[in-house]
Amino acid sequence: MIRLLAAGLVALALAGSALAADPPRQADLEAEIVCPTCKTTLDQSSSPIAARMKSYIRARIAAGDSAAQIKAQLVDQFGPAVLAEPPKRGFDLLAWLLPLAALGLGIVVVGALAWTWSRRRDTDVDPPDAELDPDLERRVDEELARYED
C-alpha cells in the first residue's frame, strides 16, 4: 500500500514537472505584451513593430525559452511598460494594491453608513417592552374594563 502511494506521488510529481516544462503559447504572450507604438496588446495590433515582436516571440519559443525569459528579454529592450500587467513588486505593486484598498475603503464606508442608519432607526422606535407611563396605563386599564363590562 505504501509503495502504491509512493508510486502515485512520484507520478504526480512527474506530471507536474512535465506541465511546467510545457512551452509558452504564442497567443498567451501576445495577449500579455503591449505594442510600444500603439499601446494595445500585440494580439490587437498590426503595426510593424508589433509584427516584429510577434516574430521575435515565435523565434524565442522555438528556441526553448520560457514565458518569463521572453518577457524579461522584451522588458530589457522596451522597458517595463511593454508588460500588459505591471509587475507585482516595487512601485508597480501600487497598481495592484490601490484597487483593493479602494474596495476595502468602500466596504468600510458603506458598513459605517449602514450601521449609523440602523442605530438611528433603533433610537426612533420605542422598545416593545418599555414601561408605559403610569397615568396612561391606568387609562388603558379603565378603557379595557369598560369593554369587559
Partner 1 sequence: MTGRARTVGQIFAIGAVALLLGLLVWKLAHNSGGVADDLAKGKHPAAPAFELSRLDPADGKVSLADLKGKPVIVNFWASWCIPCKDEAPALQKTYEKYRAQGLTVLGIDAQDFRGDAKRFAKRYGVTYPVVYDGSGSTLGKWGVTGFPETFFVDRSGRLVGERIQGGIDTERNKAAYLKGIQAALGNPQ
Specify burial of residue 30 (Cβ count, 10 A radius: 0-12, 13-18, 19+): buried
Residue 59 touches partner 1, criterion: CB under 8 A: no
Q: Which stretch binds partner 1 (CB under 8 A): 18-26, 60-68, 72-80, 135-143?
A: 72-80
Q: With helix as H, strand as E and coil as C, how does 75-112 read? A: HHHHCHHHECCCCCCHHHHHHHHHHHHHHHHHHHHHHH
| List 44, 46, 69, 116, residue binding partner 1 (CB under 8 A) | 116
Residue 6 touches partner 1, criterion: CB under 8 A: no
| List 52, 58, 88, 139, residue binding partner 1 (CB under 8 A) | 52
Q: Which stretch binds partner 1 (CB under 8 A): 26-34, 83-91, 107-115, 130-138?
A: 107-115
| List 56, 61, 83, 92, residue binding partner 1 (CB under 8 A) | 56
Q: Within its chain, how far is the Cα of 45 from the centroid? A: 27
Choice between 52 and 88, CB closer to partner 1: 52
Answer whether 24's CB lies under 8 Å from 66's CB: yes
